[in-house]
Structure 1
């Protein structure tokens, strides 16, 4: 009968004797006389345990937890408090692992004069249940909480089983164990439920996981918006549809969507292969308005056909270099720092395409390429890339080196913790088709200053981001392109293009996570060209938006932007675009 009682008791708390004795060394604050002998200290400890113990049948403890203490019947607040305490304890122990000692002399901060010396020596030599810190200390004055005590993991299980089998475990020690079980019954019940729940969750995830290497992330945008103006635009001073009339547009309000599924796969832990599927019907407002300045920053005119929008592989090369290779929709922005943190995202950033990033640096009409980010220090890094537009084509004036390409770099400086700057320089060449120097954000002349003939361009850009205060952020850029005609009658002609933007964002305005942003700038403009016409006037773009998080996964962004003198022509009426964008992320 006695052996059965012992075994049932051990089933509920397999290591509490060793842990209870472990607690003695931490209880010196409760012992008034530190010079007292070990026997007196043990009696005092047993008296305290007896006074605070709960009267309960040990057989009931060994077989079933009382219903009042069953985790399924405990209040949610009580369980939550217990688990938070236990998790904090686990986090502390992760930082400093303990090492088993075989002699009390291995503990540098324990001396024979300490009141608990004999108890520690007994624990080490009799039970083998004492662990020290890696630096050889025991830290006996450190406070021990009930949760730390309850979260101990079987430190003495094997030793107790061995002692019971050899008759080395007496009745007094069994009685101490019973009292400890009663005192810490609630914590033990909660720990048991937590382990059981974790085991069930792990088993479920293993049986139902999408992939062992791939994570699925999604984003869906619902967009309600429209473009409004009194009349159609003129291109080069002419009615854009050549029907002899000036046509009104913009009376229609549109409702559309963009859906993205990102499959991120890691093969080595620090690498990532991204495959993005996209479908949508968000309109391209340039087709309705006659100017690319009106384009949205998150359009998806695929007529709801599913396309592969991104195909990029990133991997580290040592500790300081990250390499990126893109086979589809890859440009310099995929690897470089854009220095525009609150407006750069296509799903949650600027409403207008122009404001997301400097078009002279990060929009090179590219589709494939390779790039790298090199970290020299925490405050100095270099982005480099070689990108092409038709590298998949074997046709003449296509391919990796014979088609259009851009070689570009950016030096990044982090000044203190609040100011970041980027200085970019690049060279582009277009063999005659698909010339696009403006990144489809400016005037037609800025896009093709010489028409569809071979064109080269030197690209310069400076962009920066300044956190003025914890709740105010400034960002902006300036860009310049020196273009030259490389073929035909205009070979040798030069052209100058300029652009700039500035924005201010107010963080946590009205709610934590909410951001109000105002931006203004000049879209790419052809200011001077040999043997051709430059843009006579100047367009200005102004945008205001308010990002408001409904939940952690739902963000609503009402806003509007206006284009003054569209296509750098004051003969064109201003265009207004209003939109309410709702972004769901999962």
Structure 2
């Protein structure tokens, strides 16, 4: 074999197998940091043996030109695929080494030089392209560095525009929820959130959310909490700090969360519902978003999440409702609170099961379900100086309660396009004895409050990123009561919740979700007309 053919064979064979022994462009670019430097003997490479077809080519390049390097673990990885750009990058590096040899020693023959020149011309286009791509990347990087929001913080946002109409229904006094002809007026409102995600170590997260909106709650019109939408934000367009939570790891498998404001049970425990989009995606109604066991109000607290394995996770948390109030029977430990614990079990990838317990003081209301199941809201009356005495069943701040809630939730992916789920729960709410205000008393008693739901989700329905959803269930209702006061007994009827929606993902940033919510016997009262709410939600995410 002539020196020209030998040199061409050596160079081409070596480059085809990958001069840097890498399969991806990123590894080529990081080669200098990852390599062990110049190989002085091909036998230093643990994955290259004399029986390999390219062994002689590698040995010749090592001995003659010194343009072979390996990985820190002394491997070459010559069997991995190579792109044309990686090929050109390797060729350029090897040619530079040969040029240095020519300049310093003059030991390379003219025929070798001619072969090198021919190869350089043949790959001139690829080398020029690499130079152009590097220049472009440097330019883009400079622009990003100049215009980046922060080196430690990411900014995200969400804006929801909602149109909704109470098509049919009446409240508990027989007056139509809209007008006598049920010819309701559609409402248009919005909810906007700005979120800042800040990391100081790369592993921790300070989460800040600013929120505003004017989308109304419907309870005043419908006479029940059962028609509330998940994206309602009756803030009169006032911007405020809604959430401030710090999350950081404690060891390899444990995280701690500290919430100064806006911390909720679902921040600590996984709701395991694919329809839980916190109002911005997924279910339209507050009830359809997640199990009511996650809905009692929290505000300030702490949570711990520990993963025993990929199949078992334990969450525990404490949420106070009046942590910043220094008055008596308030504050972090002397006021209202919820304490929760949850086991999340994942027997296999497509099945998630959660078992949840919540103990609460003056946090029994969930904001969904019948009026009787939200007894604190039902008995709350704001009292100001000069107001007349309270009537029976009306108390400033609401009747005090102690509650114990038990819930089970699951989600099972039958396939990539069908997910079934649901939940069931029981809350035992006890009104505390000796509660008096202006001479009025509600004696000690207990409510048994039940709820359940079944969900069906269709991810990527008709288009990737879109989703269809169906929810069937019963919002919280009082099935049994031992409160010996007229008007605080069991709910008269059971009310069925039906919901259907289709979330069409227009593009990566915009989703349009039309849907309907139907409730028979609103507020669990058969005297009320069935409730029908139509909604179109448009979500802009950035």
2:69 to 128, 131, 146: 131
Supply the distance in 2 between the matched residues of 1:270 and 1:506 (Cα, whole angstroms). 34
Query: 1:302-323: CA deviations, max 9, x gaps?
Result: 1111111211111111111121
For 1:156 and 1:303, how far apart are their aligned partners in 2?
A: 69
Structure 2 unmatched runs, 5+: 14-21, 380-397, 435-440
Alpha-carbon deviation of 1:343?
Answer: 3.6
Match of 1:391 in 2: 323
Correspondence 1:173 to 2:112: yes
1:415 matched residue in structure 2: 347
If each structure's helix is expressed as a fraction of its own residues, which one has the higher value? 1
Cα distance in 2 for partners of 1:296, 1:112 equals 72
Give 3-state SS (helix, strand or coil) of 2:93's partner.
Answer: coil
Q: In the alignment, what sits opposite 2:281?
A: 348
1:280 matched residue in structure 2: 213
CA drift at 1:419: 1.4
| Contact 2:23–2:81 under 8 Å retained in 1 | no
Q: Where does residue 495 of structure 1 map in the other structure?
A: 447
- Separation of aligned partners in 1, 2:243 and 2:128: 49
Whether 2:89 is the aligned partner of 1:151: answer yes
- Displacement of 1:568 in angstroms is 0.9
Residues 561/42 of structure 1: CA separation in 2 closer, same or farther (3 Å cut): same
Higher deviation after alignment, 409-418 or 343-352: 343-352
The C-alpha deviation readout for 1:503-551, integer Å capped at 9, x for no partner, is 1112222222222111111111112211132211111111010111111
Check the 8 A contact 1:46/1:176 in 2, yes or no.
Answer: no
Match of 2:416 in 1: 470
- Kindly indicate whether the alpha-carbon contact (under 8 Å) linking 2:305 and 2:316 is maintained by their aligned counterparts in 1: yes
Distance, in Å, in 2 between the alignment partners of 1:326 and 1:109 is 53
The equivalent of 1:55 in structure 2 is none
1:439 corresponds to: 366
Larger displacement relative to structure 2 (450-459 or 397-406): 450-459
Q: Which residue of 2 aligns with 1:567?
A: 523
Counterpart residue number, 2:19: none
2:127 counterpart of 1:188: yes
Distance in 2 separating the partners of 1:315 and 1:142: 39
Give yes or no for contact 1:38–1:119 (8 Å, CA) kept in 2.
Answer: no
| CA deviation after TM superposition for structure 1 residue 492, in Å | 3.9
Asked whether the 8 Å contact 1:474–1:504 carries over to 2, the reply is: yes
Is the CA contact 1:230–1:248 (under 8 Å) kept in the aligned structure 2? no
Contact residue 161 and residue 188 of structure 2 kept, 8 A: yes
Deviation sequence 1:88-140 (CA, Å, 0-9, x none): 73157699954332223323465668776665444324432112345545465
Report what 1:90 is aligned to.
Answer: 25
Distance in 1 (CA, whole Å) between partners of 2:367 and 2:53 is: 80
1:318 aligns with 2:269: no
Q: In structure 1, what is the Cα distance between the partners aligned to 2:127 and 2:445?
A: 83
Query: Number of matched residues?
Result: 500
Please give the root-mean-square deviation of Cα atoms over the aligned residues, in Å. Answer: 3.0
**Superposed CA offset, 1:163-211 (max 9, x none):** 4044344533332222112111221122111100100011111111111
Cα 1:169–1:525 shift into 2, 3 Å: same
Distance 2:79 2:289 in 1: 57
CA distance in 1, matches of 2:148, 2:76: 43
Is this contact kept in 2: 1:421–1:465, CA < 8 A?
A: yes
Question: Residue in 2 aligned with 1:208?
Answer: 147
Comparing 381-390 and 337-346, the one that deviates more: 337-346
Distance 1:526 1:112 in 2: 81
Deviation (angstroms), 1:160: 3.3
The residue aligned with 2:467 is 515
Q: Secondary structure at the match of 1:301?
A: coil
1:538 to 466, 489, 494: 494
Quote the residue 1:75 is aligned against. none
Q: TM-score, normalised by structure 2?
A: 0.85
CA 1:91–1:567: 2 relative to 1, 3 Å: same
- Structure 1 pair 108/473, CA: closer, same or farther in 2 (3 Å)? closer
Mapped partners of 2:524, 2:245: distance in 1: 36
- CA shift digits 1:241-300 (9 cap, x unpaired): 9xxx99676611112111111111111112111111112111111122221111110111
Residue 316 of structure 2 aligns to a residue in which SS?
A: strand
